[in-house]
């Protein structure tokens, strides 16, 4: 999660909402990503999507069985749905997203019994740090807006 | 929807589960896609994702306001979540997906009142044709498996 947080900070440095993710397989990092929605002008450019895309390329298959995805923020519906589509085995995330979180906050797509795949979920890992990086980002954004 | 169906048939010809999608803005097609999960070996390679990605590139923004997305099959959670993330205005789909559909079958992410964006949804357009192309595909798959 330390490394996912470093990726989130990289996003913040580029003016992006700081969320970082990485995909791990057999103890090796096979995919990383951070939110790049503004830079890429692309609604799909979430941290988790980059990490899963890279993981699929690294493994050469669409089934990401055995992969653990670490992400600083609770995934949204798109990313949680992508984790299910990918058959990722385990999800570890930092802080909750009460407004758009799809793994416990609004609903729980990762552990939905009607899906053909469910993930093992661990949440709250380094939650304070993961939340703080977001808080700092939005505080800076507000200050900058007031300065204008 | 005729054109989305043609894209679905293109997918079937390549051995992919036949689903086709297109994104329309101001009466112009600005993005198309069909399911390419097997060819691309990528769990994210759904028809809708390609259409939205192309639409964002065409418009040069991540907000796909004013876009209508046509797709032959009810979107899954990943694609429905992506439609919300993209702020796509309207979704038109063909047949329901009782096993994984996220716009009415299992739940309804496109019209979820707690999200910060909701889509206008029209379903059942050319539903018989959209379902038939899937039925034919799976029937051929079964025959081929029996022949082996």
The mean pLDDT of A19-40, rounded to a whole number, is: 97
pLDDT of residue B56: 97
3-state secondary structure chain A: CHHHHHHHHHHHHCCCCCCEEEEEECCEEEEEEECCHHHHCCCCCCHHHHHHHHHHHHHCCCCCCCCEEEEEECCCHHHHHHHHHCCCCEEEEEECCCCCCCECCCCECCCCCCCCCCCEEEECCCHHHHHHHHHHHHHHHHHHHHHC
* Residue span of the structural domain in which A64 resides: 2-147
Please give the tally of structural domains in chain A.
Answer: 1
CATH code, domain with B43 = 3.40.140.10
Q: Do B43 and A87 touch (CB under 8 A)?
A: yes
B145 CA: distance to closest CA in chain A (Å): 21
Q: Averaged over A6-24, what is the pLDDT?
A: 97
What is the C-alpha R_g of chain A?
15
Which residues on adjacent β-strands are paired with residue A71? Answer: A21, A93
Cβ–Cβ contact A81 with B under 8 A: yes
CA distance A48 to B37: 18
CA trace torsion A71, B91, B57, A49 (10° rounding): 20
A61–chain B nearest CA distance, Å: 5
Q: Does B140 touch chain A (CB under 8 A)?
A: no
Q: Which residue has the tokens 């379902």?
A: B131
Judged against a pLDDT cut of 90, whether residue A79 lies above it is answered with: yes
Looking at residue B132, its pLDDT comes to: 97
- Residue B138, burial from CB neighbour count under 10 angstroms (0-12, 13-18, 19+): exposed
Is A79 annotated to bind a ligand? Reply is yes
Interface of A with B in 7-66 (CB under 8 A): 37-38, 40-46, 49, 52-53, 56-57, 60-64
Which among B62, B106, B61, B58 has a CA at the least distance from the CA of B84? B62
Catalytic center residues of A:
48
User: Cβ of A87 under 8 Å from any chain B Cβ?
Assistant: yes
Q: Are strands B90-95 and B120-123 parallel, antiparallel or unpaired?
A: parallel
Q: Shortest CB distance from A42 goes to which of B62, B100, B107? A: B62
> Of B53, B81, B101, which is closest to residue A83 (Cα–Cα)?
B81
pLDDT of residue B146: 81
Quick: pLDDT tens for A91-104: 999 999 999 999 99
Q: How close does chain A come to B54, measured CA to CA in Å?
A: 9
> Would the pLDDT of A147 be above 80?
no
Query: What ipTM was assigned to the predicted interfaces of this complex?
Result: 0.94
Q: How far apart are CA A94 and CA A28, in angstroms?
A: 20
A145 pLDDT above the threshold of 90:
no
Q: Measured between alpha carbons, how far is A131 from A19 in angstroms, rounded to an integer?
A: 10
Neighbouring residues of A64: CB distance < 8 A, sequence distance ≥ 6? A23, A25, A52, A55, A56, A86, A87, A88, A89, B43
Q: Which positions of B are catalytic?
A: 48
- State the pTM of this model: 0.95
Per-residue pLDDT of chain B (148 residues; tens, 9 = 90+): 999 999 999 999 999 999 999 999 999 999 999 999 999 999 999 999 999 999 999 999 999 999 999 999 999 999 999 999 999 999 999 999 999 999 999 999 999 999 999 999 999 999 999 999 999 999 998 888 887 6
User: Which tokens belong to B125?
Assistant: 């357009």
Q: What residues pair up with A120 in beta bridges, in sequence order? A: A90
pLDDT of A8 strictly over 80: yes
Q: Rounded to whole angstroms, how far apart are CA atoms B121 and B131?
A: 18
Interface mutation target, options B15, B36, B62, chain A, most CBs of A under 10 Å: B62
Confidence of residue A21 (pLDDT cuts 50, 70, 90): very high
């Amino acid at each position: 999660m330390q490394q996912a947080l470093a990726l989130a900070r990289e996003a913040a440095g580029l003016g992006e909402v700081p969320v970082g993710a990485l995909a791990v397989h057999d103890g090796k990092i096979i995919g990383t990503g951070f939110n790049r929605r503004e830079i890429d002008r692309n609604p799909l450019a979430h941290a988790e999507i980059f990490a899963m895309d890279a993981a699929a390329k690294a493994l050469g298959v669409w089934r990401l069985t055995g992969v653990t995805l670490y992400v600083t923020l609770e995934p949204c519906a798109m990313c949680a749905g992508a984790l299910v589509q990918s058959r990722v085995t385990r999800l570890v995330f930092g802080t909750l997203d009460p407004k758009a979180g799809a793994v416990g906050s609004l609903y729980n797509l990762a552990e939905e019994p009607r899906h053909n795949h469910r993930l093992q979920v661990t949440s709250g890992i380094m939650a304070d740090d993961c939340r703080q990086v977001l808080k700092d980002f939005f505080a800076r954004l507000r200050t900058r807006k007031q300065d204008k």
